[in-house]
Amino acid sequence: MVQLSQKERMLLEDQKAHEELCIMKYTAYAEQAGDQQLQQLFTTYAGQEQQHLDTINQILSGHVPSMGSGQQAAPQAAPAPGSSGVLEKPLTADAHNDAAICQDMLSTEKYISATYNTAIFEMVDPQIRQVLNHIQKEEQQHGEGIFNYMQSKGYYQVK
């Protein structure tokens, strides 16, 4: 059983709220997405965000979850073969919607990854830091997966 300081508890409550928001957004966006690949990606990420929430709740209840082999890396959306990242034709209405929801989730993941950084540095218990670091890595993998998807569809061009 671990005792959390007031500051640690506050930071974890913030992360809990962020995970709840991610679950809500990924679930809603999976239903709104026009592309089946994006629907699957967001459904997978919603499930992983639920695991993150469960982990945060365990820590808040005083238990440090073990970092067993049950944790999986997020699947990455690979760029399409031969994709140059340059739009070759105008986007459809569905593609515009998919691009917008991807941009929102990429921004969300960037923000949440940064907030985990602060929480990690503020935790006294090294095991909790390790658990939060693992979650942060998965958040970064989500961002990478969204970026790769966007780039493969021509929604995000690196110049």
pLDDT band at 135 (very low <50, low <70, confident <90, very high): very high
34, pLDDT greater than 70:
yes
Instruction: Give the 3-state DSSP-derived string for the chain, with helices as H, strands as E and coil as C.
Output: CCCCCHHHHHHHHHHHHHHHHHHHHHHHHHHHCCCHHHHHHHHHHHHHHHHHHHHHHHHHCCCCCCCCCCCCCCCCCCCCCCCCCCCCCCCCHHHHHHHHHHHHHHHHHHHHHHHHHHHHHHCCCHHHHHHHHHHHHHHHHHHHHHHHHHHHHCCCCCC
Pick the more confident residue, 111 or 81.
Answer: 111
Whole-number pLDDT of residue 47: 98
Q: Is the pTM of this model over 0.75?
A: yes
- Mean pLDDT in residue range 127-137: 97
Helix (DSSP H) and strand (DSSP E) numbers for the chain: 4, 0
Per residue in 50-80, pLDDT (tens digit) is 999 999 999 999 999 887 544 444 455 544 4
Across the chain, mean pLDDT equals 88
The structural domains of the chain, ordered by start, are: 9-63+85-153 (1.20.1260.10)
